Amino acid sequence: MLRQRLKMIVFFAGLMLAIASCTSHYRIDGVVEMPGYEGRELSLVEFLPYRTTKYDSCTVNHGRFQMKGTADTTRLVFICKDNRPIIPIYIEKGNAKVSLLPTEMTVSGTRQNNLFYSFLKQKIVFDNLYEDLSQKRFQMSRQGYDSRRMEIIQDSLRLVVDECEDMICSFMADNYGEPAAVGVFMMLTAGPANEVPSLIRRILDAAPEKFLSQSYVHGYIGRMGYARNE
């Protein structure tokens, strides 16, 4: 009888350890150097097509804030202020650092956040270069530059687009198995579209089945009527 009771105690202890091991502890430490945040509440909110879930909240105090808790899975949520999304962040095991500065807003310190924001930094470089060239083309057009110079600028713009798309496809190819890849895909497909853009088709054509079966990706495929090129 005593041996049976000891076996049951050991069994339940092992079960509790197994359950605990499936739960990830997260911590978010943030610094804010922007006006209008002091004393305001920030919250972690997940936005899904048919559901919005608030996971945590805190108040900014002396330019700093902190949130911590547990998560049963890695989730892409938003830090929100007054119910308005400010910056995306992955809730996952580990300690994430958030910087809300006038010059940039970033998250670092955990795997998915590092991947996601390293991608954003690369894309911002291309976006800024494209914007600079577009402004230059506009100014040249107003000043009446000859067509040959305009063609050179146009060729440069196409080159920036091609290089940016190659960078995106390379990132996706290296990270299809990571939650950050789904976050990037969500960002790239956030705008309205009547058909699958060529860049998104490149991503989907090269993607493994596991990526295509992700909830958001699967929904996009069904909504847009995508079929893999054979």
Supply the Cα-derived Rg of the chain in whole angstroms: 23
Q: Please state, in angstroms and rounded to a whole number, the distance separating the CA atoms of residues 99 and 216.
A: 28
Q: Which amino acid is at 164?
A: C
pLDDT value of position 230: 59
- Count of C-beta atoms within a 10 Å radius of residue 91: 24
Residue 228 near residue 195, CB atoms below 8 Å: no
Residue with tokens 């500065």: 101
pLDDT value of position 20: 38
The maximal CA–CA distance of the chain, rounded, in angstroms, is 97
Please give the CATH architecture assigned to the domain spanning 24-109: Sandwich (2.60)
The residues with which 90 forms a beta bridge, in sequence order, are 76
pLDDT value of position 24: 78
pLDDT value of position 142: 78
Q: Tell me the residue length of the chain.
A: 230
**Mean pLDDT (10-residue bins), the chain, 230 residues:** 41 35 80 96 89 93 95 92 94 96 95 97 96 88 76 90 97 97 95 91 96 94 86
**For residue 42, what are its two tokens?**
């920030």
Give the start-to-end residue ranges of the domains of the chain: 24-109, 113-224
Torsion of CA 188, 193, 195, 196, to 10 degrees: 0
